[in-house]
């Protein structure tokens, strides 16, 4: 998700030490949280080996989906003259891990905060960049599903990565396009109802289909 503050202007893509640390901590925490939900070895429902594999898959799917979502916000914000940095929400990350141990997941890892003079259109473009990136990532993971009918550990692993990559990126796109509170959808809707509908509707429909009928994640 993306938040707006005030003031202007800088066009170079740079990362502070704090921002890199926050991105790394959020990436690790989200990956572990999703792995705990998918392979809960602590409740005796999966082996530690299965949990370790699940962490690796989460790093490549949940982690990459989260990271590129936030970087998309940052890049587009900078292109529009903003000063932009990601900040992790450590309380929410802690709750995500605690919730995952209990068997449910609430993931709100933080946001890209940007400041500078900006129009409603530019703010909408910054907001929509994250969900659109997740939709593109979901499409990129689809080819890995072709291994589903092939026996063996490697094809099974690639299929699992494809399934999680498609599912989680569709979920991230749909969730962040909800037009409520600090989520991206609110800024996109305030800018352009047509663009909002073009991103929100397919995101929700595809995520719902995957969740309730395919079960990819």
* Active-site residue list: 70
111: three-class secondary structure by DSSP = strand
Longest dimension (CA), the chain: 56
Classify the C-alpha dihedral 81-83-85-87 as positive or negative.
negative
Rounded distance, CA 77 to CA 114, Å? 7
Rounded distance, CA 4 to CA 87, Å? 13
Packing angle, helices 193-209 and 153-176, rounded to 10? 140
What are 74's two structure tokens?
């940052």
Rounded distance, CA 174 to CA 9, Å? 30
Give 72: exposed, middle or buried? Use CB within 10 Å, 0-12, 13-18, 19+. Answer: buried
């Amino acid at each position: 998700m993306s938040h707006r503050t005030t003031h202007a202007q800088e066009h170079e893509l740079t990362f502070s030490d704090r921002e890199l640390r926050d991105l790394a901590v959020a990436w690790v925490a989200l990956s572990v949280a999703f792995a705990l939900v998918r392979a809960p070895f602590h409740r005796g429902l999966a082996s530690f080996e299965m949990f370790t594999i699940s962490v690796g898959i989460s790093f490549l799917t949940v982690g990459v989906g989260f990271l590129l979502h936030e970087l998309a916000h940052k890049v587009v914000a900078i292109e529009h003259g903003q000063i932009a940095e990601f900040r992790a929400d450590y309380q929410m990350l802690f709750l995500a891990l605690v919730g995952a141990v209990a068997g449910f997941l609430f993931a709100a890892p933080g946001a890209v905060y940007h400041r500078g003079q900006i129009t409603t259109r530019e703010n909408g473009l910054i907001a929509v960049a994250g969900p659109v990136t997740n939709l593109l990532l979901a499409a990129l993971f689809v080819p890995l599903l072709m291994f589903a009918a092939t026996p063996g550990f490697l094809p099974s692993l690639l299929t699992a990565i494809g399934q999680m990559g498609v599912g989680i990126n569709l979920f991230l796109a749909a969730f962040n396009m909800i037009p409520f509170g600090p989520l991206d959808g609110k800024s996109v809707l305030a800018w352009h109802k047509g663009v909002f509908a073009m991103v929100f509707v397919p995101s929700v429909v595809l995520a719902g289909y995957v969740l309730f009928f395919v079960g990819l994640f």
